């Protein structure tokens, strides 16, 4: 395409729109699961520590998947792989409401379903990142990622309110059943996409472990990606358990019901919608590094105010600001990785990137839950916010502010 000719509007792109619609509807199911799973843990155990433990185990499953999913995504038909992952998740999560209805609550069933679902989900998401890069021109990546994140955020605005109502009236297992149906919707939409998802050029037949190592080496060889990986890894250690802490705080400290949990997360999704809308404009005006670091400062600064979070309104306001910053940072991170990485390596680089971030996330989810049980949620979240602001100040001295250049 001539550099002077603008890329066609994404609204005229049949394949991208089918893909976008399917993943948007699937995001509604994810929103239901985000509310229902922690509530099921609380129902079966009553323990904040068990909530953190499940989050940590799911994170370990993501790490295990990351060791293999990248090389797999770069070697096979990506669309068929994504459909297989959707069907696998539908099957494993369907066991939760069935066993719950027949035999009663089971924490270990949640552990098994969450871990297997995470293995399949990691593989699906790695392939999904490459799918967007294959479906749209490079100059439309920031717009495509913004639209994907924005619609996903809208689902997380509508979804938690609906999920809270469903959980309150019919039980959290019904919300899980709705999530299961969303996987079938996603699989059906992928089947209607005509474009090829395979990596461009000759496929590299590398082993799974070698693929992970190749992804890590690439991340370390590019200064911008190296800085992002290190900073996000440390951020993950600080932030991984915050959603569990928020749910526990609303339920046990503020004495809110399931609907209150849904409303807080729905309002937070408004921040994500605004972040998705604002990111392309912010990136064009200020560049990648300034947007990324500024978003981190906003997240940390907002959590600093959690010590005064004595009402649902204050908790919701903090959640909105954190979601805005996280969305701006997430879209920029995804786009810069797609812009820099050659398509033939994008699966491996994405999987390695996520695996490296998930390891500290697993530790952080376990650690913050233990600290919150001892010192209280407000003290822990305020402390984590201060640490995140300090980390972003250090990040300003790294290569994260260098211009983005695509590798050969």
Tens place of pLDDT per residue across the chain (408 aa): 444 455 667 788 888 999 999 999 998 888 888 888 888 888 777 776 777 677 777 777 877 777 778 888 888 888 899 999 999 999 999 999 999 888 888 888 888 888 898 889 889 988 888 888 888 887 888 888 888 888 887 887 777 778 878 888 888 889 899 999 999 999 999 999 988 776 655 555 656 667 788 889 999 999 999 999 999 999 988 887 777 777 777 777 777 777 777 777 777 778 888 998 899 899 989 989 999 999 999 999 988 877 666 677 788 888 889 889 999 999 999 899 988 898 888 888 988 898 888 778 778 877 888 888 888 888 888 888 999 999 999 999 998 877 665 555
Give the integer Cα–Cα distance in Å for 309 and 319. Answer: 11
Nearest-10 crossing angle of helices 312-340, 223-239: 160
226 contacts 399 by C-beta, under 8 angstroms: yes
User: How many Cα atoms sit within 13 Å of 91 on the Cβ side?
Assistant: 8
CA 213 to chain centre: 23
- Domains defined for the chain, CATH in brackets: 15-197+207-401 (1.20.1250.20)
Dist CA 137 CA 207 (whole Å): 30
Would you put residue 255 in left (φ > 0), alpha (ψ -120 to 50) or beta?
left
Alpha carbons 144 and 23: distance in angstroms, whole number: 13
Handedness of CA 280, 268, 330, 148 (dihedral sign): negative
Q: What local confidence, expressed as pLDDT, does residue 199 receive?
A: 61
Res 2: pLDDT: 44
d(CA 81, CA 73): 8
The closest alpha carbon to 182, from 316, 318, 30, belongs to 30
- Tokens representing 277? 């809308």
- Dihedral Cα 206, 208, 210, 215, nearest 10 deg: 100
Q: Are 282 and 289 in contact (CB under 8 A)?
A: no
What pLDDT score does 198 carry?
A: 67
DSSP secondary structure code for residue 5 in this structure: S
Backbone angles phi and psi of 217, in degrees to 5: -60, -40
> In 10 A of CB 291, how many CB atoms?
21
> In whole angstroms, what is the distance from residue 259 CA to residue 87 CA?
30
**CA pair distance 371, 373, nearest whole angstrom:** 5
How far apart CA 341 and CA 406 sit, in angstroms, is 7
Residues with Cβ within 8 Å of residue 178, at least 6 apart in sequence: 29, 32, 163, 166
pTM: 0.73
Closest to 179 in 3D by CA, of 39, 73, 59: 39
Q: Which residues of 185-199 are buried (b: 16+ CB within 10 A; e: fewer)?
A: bbbebbeebeeebbb
User: Measured between alpha carbons, how far is 181 from 21 in angstroms, rounded to an integer?
Assistant: 15
Give me the numbers of helices (H) and strands (E) for the chain, helices first please.
13, 0
Which distant-in-sequence residues (6+ apart) come within 8 Å of 305 by Cβ? 314, 318, 382, 385
Please list the helix, strand and coil fractions of the chain in percent, rounded to the nearest 5, in that order: 85, 0, 15
The tokens for 373 are: 């049980």
Q: How far apart (Å, rounded) are the C-alpha atoms in residues 207 and 84?
A: 21
φ, ψ (nearest 5 deg) of residue 253: -90, -45
Tokens 């693929």 belong to 211
Nearest alpha-carbon partner for 34 in 138, 182, 145, 256: 182
* pLDDT, position 154: 81
């Amino acid at each position: 395409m001539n550099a002077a000719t603008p890329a066609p509007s994404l609204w005229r792109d049949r394949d991208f729109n089918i893909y976008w619609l399917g993943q948007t509807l699937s995001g509604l199911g994810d929103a239901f699961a985000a509310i229902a799973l922690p509530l099921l843990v609380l129902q079966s155990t009553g323990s904040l520590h068990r909530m953190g433990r499940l989050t940590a185990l799911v994170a370990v499953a993501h790490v295990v998947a990351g060791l293999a999913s990248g090389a797999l995504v770069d070697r096979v038909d990506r669309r068929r792989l994504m459909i297989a992952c959707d069907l696998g998740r539908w099957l494993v999560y369907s066991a939760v409401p069935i066993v719950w209805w027949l035999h009663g609550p089971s924490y270990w069933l949640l552990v098994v379903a969450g871990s297997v679902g995470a293995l399949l989900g990691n593989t699906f998401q790695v392939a999904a990142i490459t799918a967007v890069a294959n479906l749209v021109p490079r100059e439309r990546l920031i717009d495509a990622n913004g639209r994907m994140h924005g619609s996903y955020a809208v689902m997380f605005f509508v979804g938690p309110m609906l999920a809270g109502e469903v959980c309150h009236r019919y039980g959290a297992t019904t919300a899980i059943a709705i999530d299961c149906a969303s996987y079938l919707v996603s699989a059906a939409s992928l089947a209607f996409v005509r474009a090829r998802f395979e990596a461009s050029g000759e496929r590299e037949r590398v082993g799974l472990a070698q693929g992970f190592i190749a992804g890590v080496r690439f991340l370390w060889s590019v200064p911008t990606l190296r800085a992002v990986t290190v900073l996000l890894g440390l951020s993950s250690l600080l932030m991984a358990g915050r959603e569990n802490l928020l749910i526990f705080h609303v339920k046990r400290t503020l004495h809110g019901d399931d609907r209150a949990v849904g409303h807080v997360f729905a309002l937070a999704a408004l921040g994500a919608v605004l972040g998705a809308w604002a990111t392309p404009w912010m990136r064009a005006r200020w560049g990648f590094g300034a947007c990324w670091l500024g978003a981190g400062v906003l997240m940390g600064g907002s959590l600093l105010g959690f010590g005064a979070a004595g009402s649902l309104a204050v908790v919701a306001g903090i959640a909105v600001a954190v979601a805005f910053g996280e969305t701006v940072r997430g879209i920029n991170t995804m786009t810069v990785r797609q812009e820099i990485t050659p398509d033939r390596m994008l699966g491996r680089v994405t999987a390695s990137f996520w695996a490296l971030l998930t390891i500290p996330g697993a530790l952080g989810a376990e650690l913050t839950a233990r600290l919150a049980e001892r010192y209280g949620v407000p003290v822990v979240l305020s402390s984590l916010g201060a640490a995140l602001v300090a980390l972003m100040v250090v990040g300003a001295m790294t290569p994260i502010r260098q211009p983005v250049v695509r590798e050969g």
